[in-house]
Chain A
């Protein structure tokens, strides 16, 4: 029906993306906000509704596809990136999104995650990071901080956590970004950026699990603290933060430092200018380490965005090149190829 219309003419509304299923997350869960922003922003992404595919694994976040009125596949634990890969290879026209959690992607699915990043397959991985296992009722996850007391670590977890953005950059991801469930405007903006990137997208969303890990991102979302604790990255702009934009980041050799912009010692010109297009991954990697240090703010925004040919492009290009050179295959010729002989 929408065959000959442009996207604008179809004029989709957020409610067109809301499925008939009752949403079954706990009241107050950060997932609601992510779903709402996704449904709000989907109509403006320039993608036909029938071309959206949401894929997920297992976990609270992985219920996401049921609530989006698009094509969807709720699969098995950790494997969503591979299923999405198969879909994208089969039909590169589709806009393939993965909804996943920290356990799903970084624990059981860690291998698939890094290989998706490495291949630069055109899928968009949205990681709902709540630093806990929710659906299995509160065990520490690969992003839980060391020492965390949970049902499976009554004396404190002895595991060091992954920094997901660092892992993605290390694995060669061409798009790495972070946002927060309680920052709807920023969240929407990140979704738009994710949508416009051709290769593998890794978008981490800090998501509050109010049942098993309430307040883990409190200082990043609380009005009192967030301005001093969150650094909004903007491409080609100096790194400024603080309530009055009174603080900045300088790069002192290889060491990032917070400086005061009000005492006359430093000006905007001294600050680290964020370059998400930097081909060297080292600076983007440095940003991923900020959250490790008390004195540094936690960056949100696009850490890294570079252009590379995608896996599905290369795969289909190879096929097209061979067909162009050798012609389309003929089944009879194929079967009768090689050393043949006649029996009369």
Chain B
């Protein structure tokens, strides 16, 4: 049966099922295929902290949201147009977030009394009116998969595991995507198990052809390629981009990359990624704990490595004392903090921006470090390079903030030419003539003199020291001098970073400021408001300590400043106390990113108030 194809400009899809249903895999495949098809994409994996939470329960639901479009997009979409619900629990969890009138594809085979009970549905939501207003498509996914695989020689349990490929195949058909890339992926991924390859391929194809043959769908859809800037692209997640940026920084500084890390969600995949890159001489050290991870990093920095440690909020807390040593010893280390919901263990797999004040102040004594942040998955690559440049140029710890949202999210990346990266070659001190470990250049940077260099033997450490000689010194004036000197050194970095840039409508009265992973949602909201003829501007901070030099000048130009953050107003706090200006702190602490509509609403409300007032 030939069906019509309708063109759409953008679609938001959400796959949802049990943690064991393979939803992350399904979502990732759909994303990669969409990216290959030339769409702009943005993704939001959303999964529970438990690896295999009890099946059928709401807390075991794992979701993957994907926004794909024929134009430039910045967020994974506010509300899905279509939900694939593998079981009642995943329907229950996701129903509220759907667009009105959204399509819901349900695996009808899982809609039984047992599963209703597990997720506390009193009656069948397909029949009791819960879904009125939605376009529900009931597909016997489990049964059809079992039929397609009846000759596969697999046990029923293994057959059941392939049903996500059936769902994926069906979605490929519905959105007119090729199935080839996924077939290729299946063939490499399961190359040691021909049975599984055959089964997954069969399920995928069965899903695809089911779409063609069933009467359940009358139309197919198509999203044309986006008009992205010319270049070679790949789809990339934030943590992967961050890791590649570190490898690039290692090549460009000429320093071997050392990563000291202890596994922690959502930072672990950086460790996984870097442990693959032995061809670049990357040394990964999986430490016994967070403290060992950062202190080994300090040791490696002392001995001349591009030294990095990666963690999330609770790990950063454990590293605090060692970062203080890095400040005192003036060694170049990069501490990556992929933020998650806190405090304590908090929400390990959910995103938040609540470690900014910890990054700024979470150490004993006056211990300033440089703080920079990445704003999108692909931006993580650039910020890695920048972190390495600043750390090695200023002999200073750099705290590099990302968050779970951009770490796990992916988007198309126009692959940059590494030859265009400015020179960052590091020169160690080798001349013993007049060597002093704490002498300083015009940036107040001390020499990097690594063990193994004849004539440069010297001692450094955590005790207060005298400038230039580095000798231990407890004199009152000396301590004050050194504290101020270390602070000035960090502040000096402001002379070496770009100005804060304003985007959106430059004539606006309202400025929306942000930092980190909220960039996409803010950009969308600001663009939408401007497109509707109202005026709003935005400025996004990459550098949080020191702030760009023109920060005050920019902020003072606007009548009203809104600062959305996924915390209780930490950037607002820093800016208010530094520049003594009013900020409307707009916050959300739900472990979920902002929706651009939430920010749009906020802007409209403020605009409305201004017009009335």
Chain B 295-311, CB within 8 Å of chain A: the 1/0 string? 11111111111010000
How many chain B residues sit at the interface, stated as a range, is 35 or more
Residue A339 is within 8 A (CB to CB) of chain B in the complex: yes
Chain A 106-143, CB within 8 Å of chain B: the 1/0 string? 00000110010000000000000000000000000000
Residue A50 is within 8 A (CB to CB) of chain B in the complex: yes
Check if B292 sits within 8 Å of A79, measured CB to CB: yes
Residue B453 is within 8 A (CB to CB) of chain A in the complex: yes
Select A334's contact among B280, B325, B329, B459, beta carbons within 8 Å: B280
Check if A51 sits within 8 Å of B283, measured CB to CB: no
Residue A87 is within 8 A (CB to CB) of chain B in the complex: yes
Check if A50 sits within 8 Å of B455, measured CB to CB: yes
Provide a sorted-by-A list of 23 A–B residue pairs whose CB atoms are within 8 angstroms: A1-B432, A69-B457, A71-B459, A74-B462, A74-B463, A76-B324, A79-B322, A82-B287, A83-B296, A86-B297, A87-B303, A89-B283, A90-B300, A90-B307, A112-B291, A328-B280, A329-B247, A331-B280, A335-B418, A337-B234, A339-B234, A340-B415, A343-B232
List the 8 closest A-B pairs by CB distance, nearest first: A86-B299, A74-B461, A329-B279, A86-B296, A72-B459, A90-B303, A83-B299, A86-B300
Select B36's contact among A52, A93, A339, beta carbons within 8 Å: A339
Residue A94 is within 8 A (CB to CB) of chain B in the complex: yes
Check if A1 sits within 8 Å of B230, measured CB to CB: no
Q: In the complex, A111 Cα to B455 Cα: how many Å?
A: 35
Select A3's contact among B230, B451, B454, beta carbons within 8 Å: B454
Q: In the complex, A51 Cα to B296 Cα: how many Å?
A: 18
B residues engaging A (CB < 8 A)?
32, 35-36, 38, 181, 225, 228-235, 244, 247-248, 251, 256, 258, 260, 277-283, 285, 287-289, 291-292, 295-305, 307, 321-322, 324-325, 329, 414-419, 432, 450-463, 471-472
- Please name the residue on chain A nearest to B283 by beta carbon: A89
| Closest beta carbon of chain B to A96's beta carbon, Å | 8
| Closest beta carbon of chain A to B514's beta carbon, Å | 28
Chain A 4-28, CB within 8 Å of chain B: the 1/0 string? 0000000000000001010000000
Q: Which residues of B contact A87 (CB under 8 A)?
A: 299-300, 302-303, 451
Q: Which residues of A contact B235 (CB under 8 A)?
A: 339
Q: Which residues of A contact B471 (CB under 8 A)?
A: 21
- Please report the number of residue pairs spanning A and B whose Cβ atoms sit closer than 8 angstroms: 213
| Closest beta carbon of chain B to A343's beta carbon, Å | 5
- Please name the residue on chain B nearest to A74 by beta carbon: B461
Check if A49 sits within 8 Å of B454, measured CB to CB: yes
| Closest beta carbon of chain A to B451's beta carbon, Å | 4
Q: Which residues of B contact A292 (CB under 8 A)?
A: none
- Known A-B contacts A21-B472, A75-B298, A111-B288; the reply to A332 vs B417 at CB < 8 A is yes
Q: In the complex, A340 Cα to B236 Cα: how many Å?
A: 10
Additional A-B contacts beyond A82-B295, A329-B281 (20; CB < 8 A)? A21-B471, A49-B457, A72-B461, A73-B302, A73-B461, A74-B460, A75-B325, A76-B462, A86-B300, A89-B258, A90-B258, A91-B451, A329-B247, A334-B244, A335-B416, A339-B36, A339-B234, A340-B415, A341-B232, A344-B230
Chain A 52-81, CB within 8 Å of chain B: the 1/0 string? 111100000000011001111111100100
Check if B279 sits within 8 Å of A326, measured CB to CB: yes
Q: In the complex, A55 Cα to B35 Cα: how many Å?
A: 50
Residue A338 is within 8 A (CB to CB) of chain B in the complex: yes
Check if B459 sits within 8 Å of A74, measured CB to CB: yes
Q: In the complex, A257 Cα to B530 Cα: how many Å?
A: 91
| Closest beta carbon of chain A to B7's beta carbon, Å | 19
| Closest beta carbon of chain B to A312's beta carbon, Å | 9
Check if A93 sits within 8 Å of B452, measured CB to CB: yes
| Closest beta carbon of chain B to A74's beta carbon, Å | 3
Residue A322 is within 8 A (CB to CB) of chain B in the complex: yes
- Known A-B contacts A50-B451, A89-B283, A319-B283; the reply to A19 vs B459 at CB < 8 A is yes
